[in-house]
Amino acid sequence: MKNPATAFLLFISLTFSALAQNFAELSAVDAVSGSSKTLGSMVSGKGIVLVFHSLNCPFTKMYEGRLKALKSTFQNQGIGFALVNPEVGTTEADQLPLRNHIDQSGLNMAYLIDENQVWAKQFSITKIPEVIVLVKGQNGLEVAYRGAIDNNPQAETAVSEKHLERALNQILRGETSTPAQVRAVGCNLRTY
């Protein structure tokens, strides 16, 4: 009985170790700079917030002011931010609207193109916007929080649960994010 349990735990730890390594090796083209970036190279501080985003989803527009405020608060504390678009390609015609959006919205962060939805599949993204917070762990990058930004996309003044902000504060204090997952609300991710 002891050997199967030990084997199972070893299998689980190796699986999570492999996933952590895979996260760091994920790469995408940044529409802002036009260069390819790996996720591992983007995490230089305490972690990174990936916001799965689309110009076609009205929920993303509703959250832009809150994202700017969160970035302003947490970027100087070692938390990076990047948008990830799983609904466009890497041609210049696809990149231009994303680059223009960053310039016009004032979001001022990388806008990664998840061509073929590799990142969305890796993180099991189903909604836009949905956030993934990655931190450095013993075996590489680990998901510390995933899900909703807060509990009211339509009315910022009516927000009573700031899920992402709470998770980031817990991470900065060295605590585990609780809850580690909150169901995201928004547009369904169009899968290809």
**39-76 tens-digit pLDDT:** 999 998 899 999 999 999 999 999 999 999 999 999 99
- The HSE-up count of residue 21 (CA atoms within 13 Å, CB side) is 6
Q: Give the pLDDT confidence score for residue 9 in this predicted structure.
A: 42
C-alpha 24/C-alpha 31 separation (Å) is: 19
- The pLDDT-based confidence of 138 (bands split at 50, 70, 90) is confident
Select the CATH number that applies to the domain covering 2-188 from these four: 3.90.1150.10, 3.40.50.720, 3.30.390.30, 3.40.30.10: 3.40.30.10
Q: Give the pLDDT confidence score for residue 16 in this predicted structure.
A: 41
Q: CA nearest 131: which of 98, 84, 69?
A: 84
Residue whose tokens read 């890497």: 90
Q: Give the pLDDT confidence score for residue 8 in this predicted structure.
A: 46
Exposed e or buried b for every residue in 89-121, given b needs 16+ CB within 10 A? ebeeebbeebbebbeebebebbbbbbbebebbe
Q: CA nearest 43: which of 148, 162, 142?
A: 142
Residue whose tokens read 């990047």: 82
Q: Give the pLDDT confidence score for residue 156 in this predicted structure.
A: 87
**Cα 106 from chain centroid?**
19
Mean pLDDT over each residue of the chain, to the nearest integer: 89
Q: What is the DSSP letter of 177?
A: P
The full set of domain ranges for the chain reads 2-188
Given a contact cutoff of 8 angstroms between Cβ atoms, the answer to whether 26 and 117 are in contact is no
Say if pTM beats, i.e. exceeds, 0.75. yes
pLDDT tens figures, 90-99: 999 999 999 9
Q: What is the DSSP letter of 62?
A: H
